[in-house]
Amino acid sequence: MVQSTPANDVLTGLLRKFADPGGNGRVAQAAHRAFYNSLHKTLDRQALQSTNYNQELARVAVQEAWIKILRSAHRYDPALASVETWAKMITRQCANDLLRSAYVTEKIFEPAEEPEAFACPLPQSDELLYQQQVEQATAQCIATLPSGRGPNYRLALELALDPDLSYADMTSRLQEQVQGGALLNAEQVRGWVRQALKRMRECINRKLDLRPQGMAT
């Protein structure tokens, strides 16, 4: 199961500690390490999703996003969004910019040497609001996926979003949930993930009132 992140006030406190230019250097480093440990898997998953699971692009996007977060920590506004939403938006924008560049140039760029040269901007309030709406719709749609001891689409999707797990690991975890002792294989698990993604797309589109281009309103 995807690990939950600390409460927003905890993350905000850590962010403030390494954002303070006059603060203690050791305290700031410890705060950044704790912040990284709390969010790095979440941002890794965001980058993978945003780059269509291109691992190299995702790696570069996360590197750029972390530097952007470090340099922009003092500008975080808790009235606009949670720390997690804010950090995920920065990661998504960095990933999208890299993905566009990769499509145009057909190559993968290394991270920019000067952080100020990063193309990915800080998210605006309307973008943060939309991201929160997407996250709410995603959580509601995940809750509708079949789970339990049948085809466990919900757990299959959650495991697929963990970059540290292989399909063999996923199969082993899901096997524990299968009723009657039937054996699972990796291809069945891939099928569960495909079905889960299909249902999620349809559900989120309905909740956000998104229609395919050209469809009558």
* Residue-wise pLDDT tens digits, 152-197: 898 888 888 776 778 888 888 888 877 666 788 889 998 998 898 8
Residue 66, pLDDT score: 92
Q: Which of 15, 53, 60 is nearest to 34 (CA)?
A: 15
Q: Which residue has the higher pLDDT, 130 or 89?
A: 89
- Strand ranges, E, within 55-186: none
**Domain boundaries in the chain?**
8-123, 143-207
Tell me the CATH architecture of domain 8-123. Answer: Orthogonal Bundle (1.10)
Average pLDDT, the chain: 78
Whole-structure pTM value = 0.57
Backbone angles phi and psi of 29, in degrees to 5: -65, -40
83-105 helix and 125-144 helix, angle to the nearest 10 degrees: 100
